[in-house]
């Protein structure tokens, strides 16, 4: 029996759920440290340009595919290509990428969950900075504890996705996203009171182009796609829950604006702390788990601040992993005609099993020779394969699919229905057809070492 295709119950439901997918560890954790290691302001300008000029148009393209077909990636590409096996393959590439990302992103999510509980127990109070940093290292090297938090996080994720679009994803996005904004604003207000706030504003907004390295350009572009969740078929699936009457460019724009704002505000939360306490802004990925707790411990309201911060990260992470599991579930439901709850359970178990070696990466006891042979531990390898290869390749294929295999008339009709922003259809089409494929192809060639900057 074919199951009825669900829809968002409201415009705000779509916007919050999609912004929830977009706003995640990318905006809160990766953006500040990548901006920090790429010179600040100049990088931020590039990121904004890429988000609006490239990421956003491709985001719209994915929404159009989803809303037009009312199907998830695999069946959507198959339907629009008249049943082509090759284009169906693009849907499966999206599926595989999302599955692998869920398996290691979930391990990081487990750390966040663990930090929420540790913060409630005031774990940093009375410890030296070295001892606080050592907490992360100990956690990272404890495989079964990693597996435990990872598994628990996946169960929470499953509970939400199993309840469906309206009762699960939309309802929880409507609860978690406003909470996230609230916590973010509270922390932002706190940050403005710190002596380093002025330096942080200058660092984030005053461009110093001499600090830009050639790779910064690529990093900014990758960042723009990753934070918008573009190139995973996720936006296709979320677009399929849109009603025909919805305004694609306008709603899409709200999502892009929210994502960018959260990225910028989170940088303005983290850098004032960094500058006030004289830390190097290039502290790297350890910034959140190692450095920030050291700072929280110096501040009187440690429990409140530390718990709020990690809860904020937890909400953001959860609304992103929901979207990763949803694209898996939606595709399996459509292709194999399996019921939502069953599909959710099977796929969560699969993601859990694939994630175990990532959870063991810090300890290095499972596959002990992995790093010696492949040069990266299992976790880093999964991250590298999916983010540096699968994502740009899938994004390129998606752009080619829309720009070169679909009729202009159909695309324009979808773009313009229900909107008065129809005049943007032509520039959008030009970007998707000519500019975006060239830029993404350039990134792939650069990554493969065939061309260098």
Question: 302-331 mask for ligand PHE (x: CB under 6 A)?
Answer: ------------------x--xx-------
Gap between the Cα atoms of 262 and 333, Å rounded: 33
The string of DSSP letters for 9-30 reads: SSHHHHHHHHHHHHSSHIIIII
Instruction: Decide: is 26 part of the binding site for ligand PHE (CB under 6 A).
Output: yes
Residues 333 and 339 sit within 8 Å (Cβ to Cβ):
yes
C-alpha 352 chain-centroid distance: 19
59/401 with CB nearer ligand PHE: 59
Instruction: Decide: is 25 part of the binding site for ligand PHE (CB under 6 A).
Output: yes
124/170 with CB nearer ligand PHE: 170
Residues 274 and 200 sit within 8 Å (Cβ to Cβ):
yes
Nearest to 423 by CA among 301, 234, 262, 249: 249
Of 100-129, which residues contact ligand PHE (CB under 6 A)?
101
| Among 13, 24, 168, 403, contact with ligand PHE (rule: CB under 6 A) | 24
Of 351-390, which residues contact ligand PHE (CB under 6 A)?
none
C-alpha 160 chain-centroid distance: 18
Which tokens in the block code for residue 386? Answer: 């999916």
Gap between the Cα atoms of 374 and 144, Å rounded: 24
111/197 with CB nearer ligand PHE: 111
17/75 with CB nearer ligand PHE: 17
| Among 154, 234, 269, 329, contact with ligand PHE (rule: CB under 6 A) | 234
The string of DSSP letters for 375-397 reads: SS-HHHHHHHIIIIIIHHHHHHH
94/406 with CB nearer ligand PHE: 94
- Nearest approach, Cβ of residue 357 and ligand PHE (Å): 20
Gap between the Cα atoms of 67 and 76, Å rounded: 9
- Nearest approach, Cβ of residue 23 and ligand PHE (Å): 6
- Nearest approach, Cβ of residue 282 and ligand PHE (Å): 21
Residue 448 CB contacts under 8 Å (≥ 6 apart), including other chains: none
Gap between the Cα atoms of 154 and 24, Å rounded: 16
69/266 with CB nearer ligand PHE: 266
Residues 55 and 315 sit within 8 Å (Cβ to Cβ):
no
Nearest to 33 by CA among 390, 290, 358, 321: 290
Gap between the Cα atoms of 433 and 398, Å rounded: 11
- Nearest approach, Cβ of residue 130 and ligand PHE (Å): 30
Instruction: Decide: is 169 part of the binding site for ligand PHE (CB under 6 A).
Output: no
230/273 with CB nearer ligand PHE: 230
Instruction: Decide: is 242 part of the binding site for ligand PHE (CB under 6 A).
Output: no
Instruction: Tell me the number of residues near ligand PHE by CB under 6 A.
Output: 15
Residues 242 and 5 sit within 8 Å (Cβ to Cβ):
no
Nearest to 93 by CA among 377, 397, 300: 397
- Nearest approach, Cβ of residue 26 and ligand PHE (Å): 2
- Nearest approach, Cβ of residue 183 and ligand PHE (Å): 16
Helix and strand numbers, DSSP H then E, in the chain: 23, 0
Question: 63-102 mask for ligand PHE (x: CB under 6 A)?
Answer: --------------------------------------x-
173/320 with CB nearer ligand PHE: 320
Residue 344 CB contacts under 8 Å (≥ 6 apart), including other chains: 158, 161, 162, 325, 329
| Among 15, 17, 22, 295, contact with ligand PHE (rule: CB under 6 A) | 22
276/320 with CB nearer ligand PHE: 320
Among the residue ranges 22-30, 202-210, 350-358, 395-403, the one whose residues contact ligand PHE (CB under 6 A): 22-30
75/112 with CB nearer ligand PHE: 112
Residue 229 CB contacts under 8 Å (≥ 6 apart), including other chains: 21, 22, 235, 320, 323
- Nearest approach, Cβ of residue 178 and ligand PHE (Å): 18
135/394 with CB nearer ligand PHE: 394
Residue 401 CB contacts under 8 Å (≥ 6 apart), including other chains: 65, 77, 80, 81, 87, 90
Gap between the Cα atoms of 262 and 27, Å rounded: 7
- Nearest approach, Cβ of residue 368 and ligand PHE (Å): 30
Gap between the Cα atoms of 408 and 77, Å rounded: 16
| Among 27, 139, 248, 313, contact with ligand PHE (rule: CB under 6 A) | 27
184/297 with CB nearer ligand PHE: 184
Of 174-233, which residues contact ligand PHE (CB under 6 A)?
226-227, 229, 232
List residues binding ligand PHE (CB under 6 A): 21-22, 24-27, 101, 226-227, 229, 232, 234, 320, 323-324
């Amino acid at each position: 029996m074919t199951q009825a295709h669900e829809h968002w119950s409201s415009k705000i439901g779509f916007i919050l759920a999609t912004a929830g997918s977009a706003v995640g560890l990318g905006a809160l954790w990766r953006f500040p440290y990548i901006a920090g290691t790429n010179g600040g302001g100049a990088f931020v300008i590039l990121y904004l340009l890429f988000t609006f000029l490239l990421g956003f148009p491709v985001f719209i393209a994915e929404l159009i595919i989803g809303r037009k077909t009312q199907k998830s990636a695999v069946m959507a590409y198959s339907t629009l290509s008249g049943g082509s096996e090759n284009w169906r393959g693009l849907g499966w590439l999206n599926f595989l990428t999302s599955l692998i990302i869920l398996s290691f992103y979930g391990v990081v999510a487990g750390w966040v969950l663990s930090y929420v509980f540790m913060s409630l127990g005031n774990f940093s109070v009375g410890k030296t900075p070295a001892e606080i940093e050592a907490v992360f290292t100990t956690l990272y090297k404890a495989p079964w504890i990693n597996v435990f938090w990872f598994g628990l996080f996946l169960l929470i994720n499953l509970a939400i996705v199993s309840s469906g679009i309206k009762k699960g994803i939309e309802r929880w996005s409507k609860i978690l996203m406003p909470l996230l904004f609230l916590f973010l604003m509270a922390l932002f207000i706190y940050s403005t009171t710190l002596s380093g706030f002025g330096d942080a504003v200058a660092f984030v907004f005053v461009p110093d182009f001499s600090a830009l390295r050639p790779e910064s350009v690529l990093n900014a572009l990758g960042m723009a796609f990753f934070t918008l969740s573009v190139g995973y078929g996720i936006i296709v699936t979320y677009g399929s829950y849109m009603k025909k009457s919805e305004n694609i460019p306008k709603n899409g724009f709200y999502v892009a604006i929210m994502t960018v704002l959260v990225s910028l505000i989170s940088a303005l939360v983290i850098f004032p702390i960094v500058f006030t306490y004289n830390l190097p802004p290039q502290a790297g990925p350890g910034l959140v788990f190692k450095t920030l707790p050291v700072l929280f411990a110096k501040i009187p309201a440690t429990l409140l601040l530390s718990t709020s911060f990690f809860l904020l990260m937890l909400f953001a992470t959860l609304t992103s992993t929901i979207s990763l599991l949803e694209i898996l579930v939606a595709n399996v439901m459509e292709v194999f005609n399996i019921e939502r709850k069953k599909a959710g359970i099977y796929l969560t178990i699969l993601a859990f099993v694939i994630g175990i070696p990532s959870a063991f990466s810090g300890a290095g006891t499972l596959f002990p020779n992995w790093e010696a042979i492949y040069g990266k531990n299992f976790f880093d390898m999964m991250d590298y394969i999916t983010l540096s290869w699968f994502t740009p390749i899938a994004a390129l294929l998606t752009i080619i699919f829309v720009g070169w295999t679909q009729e202009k008339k159909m695309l324009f009709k979808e773009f313009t229905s229900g909107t008065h922003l129809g005049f943007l259809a032509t520039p959008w089409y030009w970007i998707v057809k000519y500019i975006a494929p060239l830029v993404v192809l350039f990134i792939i060639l650069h990554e493969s070492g065939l061309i260098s900057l």
